[in-house]
Every structure is written in C-alpha cells, then in structure tokens.
Amino acid sequence: MSTVAIAPLAESLSAFLNNHDFSAIAVIADNHTAKFCYPDLKPLLPKHTLVRIKAGEEQKHIATCELIWDAFTRSGFDRYALVLNLGGGVIGDMGGFCAATYKRGIAFAQLPTTLLAQVDASVGGKLGIDFNGLKNHIGVFQQPNAVFIDPSFLGTLPERELRSGFAEVIKHCLIADTAMWDTIRVRDLDEQDWPALVAHSVAVKQRVVAQDPTEKGLRKILNFGHTLGHAVETYYLNMPRKRLLHGEAIAVGMVAEAFMAFQKDMIDQTLLTQIEDYLFSVYGNARLSEADIEPILKLTKQDKKNRDNQVLMSLIDGSGSCTFDVPVTMAEMRRGLLFYSGLSR
Ligand code: GLY
C-alpha cells in the first residue's frame, strides 16, 4: 500500500523528494489547480515540467492522455522520472494512468486538491479514463508511490465541490462506522470537522484496499451507492444543464440503494429514514423524471462489478456494515429510483 501523508506539502512532499533520486519531474495540473494550487507547489520542486490540461470530466479521455504522453516524451523522460498529479479525481485517475503506462510504468504521486479526491480517488490505485461515454471504462490498478494530502487545498474549493466530496465521506461512514455516521448526520455541511473526516475516510479506505487491492471481493463495498449513482452520473454527462457532480450522483445512488436494502430486509426503516432525510437535506432532490429511469437502468449493464450479465450490487446490511455481490433485478433497481424520485410514494 502507498504511504498516505496528511500534512502540508512543504513537510511531506519535501521529505519524499529528499529521500529519492528522480531523473525528472512532471506536474500535471488543470487550469484551476495550475492557478490556485501550483503556486504553493512550485517553490518546493527542483526543475520540472508543468503539463497543463483543461479542467473537467469531458477531458478524461485518450486524446488528453496522448497530450500527456507526448509531453513526457518531448521532455525526454526515462523510467526514473516522477509524475505529480495535482488536482481532483480527473487529474489523479488520468495522470496516474499515463504514468502507469508510460514506458510500462514510472513513479507517480497523487496530490489531491478536492475533498472527493482526498477521501476517495487518490487512495487505492484505481486509474483510468472514460471511453465512449462510459466512466472509467479503460484503466488499471496501480498503487501510487505516495499520496500527499494537504488539508489547506480544501480552502480553495467551491461549496458545491465540497458537498460532492462529502458523499464519499458519508458512504465510508455508512459502510464501516456507525458511530461516525451518528456524528456527521446531526451536522450541516459547514459544521463538519474536515481534517478529522479526511483522516477517517482515508483510514477506512486503506483498511479495505489493503485486504483486496484489485477488487476481487471485499473492495466492492466501497461501491455502495455507485451502481445506480454511476449510471445517473453517466446519463447526465452529456446534458450540461442537468449535469451532476460525482458525489451528487452518488447521493442519489445511496438513497435508491438504501431503499433496495430495506426492501430486502437488510436495513430497518429507522436507518432508511435517517439516510433519506439527511441526504435530501444536504443534496436536495436531483428530480429524475419517469422518462429518465429506463435509460439510467440500461447503463447499469456496464457496471464493472457485474458478472454474466447479472447486476451485482454492494448493499448496506446494517448501520456501518456492507455486503457485496448481491444479485439485483431491473425491477428492484427501478423501484429504488422511483422511491428516490418520489414517484412511488
Ligand atoms: N471508489 C471506490 C474504490 O476506489 O474502490
């Protein structure tokens, strides 16, 4: 497992660089992190190449990888170079993928700048890009050489981004820590203790990933809310006016999938109501219409956890507990989405 340091970059990254001898360094940033975060990083680095790409999920495809590989090649990078991915999930997943495949793999470290990336994407070594409108369809598992989480970057985030990342914090509590769920669910977004929650989420995720790094089994519990959440996110990907951030879509998925767990007697009414009330209070209602539901369901057929055309879901089976590989039907998922959208009540 990679080392995850939660500390100012001036301490953690500087110590790492002093202990290694890289032949060259590249920083991959998008136009936001190049403006708001790179100025803090630049003075800590020796001579390096800045690879700047446009921000946004729509950049997470093979053509952007070609630009990145081209920058490595033109800078003369050999196998002893280091890539620093400065950004959110898109930069971490895609920059890591480019590093893991360049000359069959060079060193890379994640420097996550969003809450979402700090509590989820940067930890665990899932790397990849979108393909033909499908999220993270092409990719590899490769652990980063290190993850450097600088809490000060959260100060650069718009509130909507913070709220999106919070969905993965909520997920970690629901699947693994009922006491932490009871702590967060009585607080608004602006009352949360972010440094403690980042450390908590990283610890939960590392514990799971250490037991199952390539998602053969247990790691699938980290996908609670993601079968329907990913489908909702993908469905809205090409609709600029209705587009949801990752965590906003996962919040939809968690409510719908909690209802499915309730229908299967895996959780009680009290927990379902807690989840429904809290998630609607934080995220509002994404307002799925009846016409949205069938195309969203169709997208679940592409879920990476499926086997033999059977959708296999990770469902909570109590507060702070989750199980995986639960076969579910289209009718059950439809009822979950109808419950979310209020169409069945
Ligand atoms: N985001 C879930 C995982 O990394 O496995």
pLDDT digits (tens, 9 = 90+) for 41-96: 999 999 999 999 999 988 999 999 999 999 999 999 999 999 999 999 999 999 99
Q: What CATH number is attached to the domain comprising 316?
A: 1.20.1090.10
Q: Output the residue whose Cα is nearest ligand 1's atom 5.
A: 222
Indicate the residue type of 244. Answer: L
Distance between CA atoms of 182 and 232, rounded to whole angstroms?
Answer: 27
Give yes or no: residues 206 and 100 share one domain: no
Q: What's the confidence (pLDDT) of residue 241? A: 81
Last residue of a domain, one of 122, 155, 188: 155
Residues 131-138: what's their mean pLDDT?
91
pLDDT band at 237 (very low <50, low <70, confident <90, very high): confident
- Count of other CB atoms within 10 angstroms of residue 274: 18
Contacts of 180 (CB under 8 A, 6+ apart): 172, 173, 200, 320
pLDDT band at 135 (very low <50, low <70, confident <90, very high): confident
Residues 5-22: what's their mean pLDDT?
97
The tens digit of pLDDT for each residue in 150-166 reads 999 998 899 999 999 99
The tens digit of pLDDT for each residue in 307-333 reads 999 999 999 999 999 999 999 999 999
Write out the H or E segment, with its range, that includes residue 227.
Answer: helix 226-236
Q: Output the residue whose Cα is nearest ligand 1's atom 3.
A: 222
Pocket perturbation via mutation, ligand 1, pick of 143, 169, 223 by most ligand atoms within 8 A of CB = 223
Ligand 1, CB within 6 Å, residue ranges = 120, 124, 126, 219, 222-223
CA of 224 to the centre of ligand 1 (A): 10
Contacts of 270 (CB under 8 A, 6+ apart): none
Give yes or no: residues 167 and 149 share one domain: no
Which 3 state secondary structure label does DSSP give 85? strand
pLDDT band at 133 (very low <50, low <70, confident <90, very high): confident
Give yes or no: residues 146 and 172 share one domain: no
Give yes or no: residues 197 and 326 share one domain: yes
Catalytic, out of 171, 205, 220, 305: 205
Q: Output the residue whose Cα is nearest ligand 1's atom 2.
A: 222
Write out the H or E segment, with its range, that includes residue 4.
Answer: strand 3-6
CA of 313 to the centre of ligand 1 (A): 14
The tens digit of pLDDT for each residue in 267-301 reads 999 999 999 999 999 999 998 999 999 999 999 99
* Active-site annotation holds for 215: yes
Q: What's the confidence (pLDDT) of residue 343? A: 75
The chain-wide mean pLDDT, for the chain, equals 96
Give yes or no: residues 208 and 75 share one domain: no
Q: With pLDDT > 70 as the criterion, what percentage of the chain qualifies?
A: 100
Pocket perturbation via mutation, ligand 1, pick of 205, 230, 305 by most ligand atoms within 8 A of CB = 205
* Active-site annotation holds for 226: yes
* Active-site annotation holds for 136: no
The number of the ligand 1 atom at minimal distance from the alpha carbon of 219 is 5
Catalytic, out of 223, 233, 257, 305: 223
pLDDT of 1 strictly over 90: no
Last residue of a domain, one of 90, 124, 155: 155
Task: Tell me the DSSP string of 274-331.
Answer: HHHHHHHHHH------HHHHHHHHHHGGG-TT-BTTB-EEEEE-STT-EEEEEE--HH
Give yes or no: residues 167 and 66 share one domain: no
pLDDT of 345 strictly over 60: no
Give yes or no: residues 304 and 199 share one domain: yes
Give yes or no: residues 137 and 274 share one domain: no
Q: What CATH number is attached to the domain comprising 68?
A: 3.40.50.1970
Last residue of a domain, one of 135, 155, 175: 155
Give yes or no: residues 16 and 62 share one domain: yes
Q: Give the chain's domain count.
A: 2
Give yes or no: residues 285 and 325 share one domain: yes
* Active-site annotation holds for 220: no
Report yes or no on whether pTM surpasses 0.85: yes
CB neighbour burial string for 166-195, b if at least 16 within 10 angstroms, e if fewer: bbbbbbbbbbbbeebbebbbeeeeeebebe
Give yes or no: residues 185 and 315 share one domain: yes
Catalytic, out of 32, 171, 200, 219: 219
Distance between CA atoms of 160 and 193, rounded to whole angstroms?
Answer: 17
**Ramachandran class of 265: left when φ > 0, alpha when ψ lies in -120 to 50, beta otherwise:** left
Give yes or no: residues 259 and 287 share one domain: yes
CB neighbour burial string for 48-78, b if at least 16 within 10 angstroms, e if fewer: bbbbbbebebebbbeebbeebbebbeeeebe
The boundaries of the domain holding residue 45 are 3-155
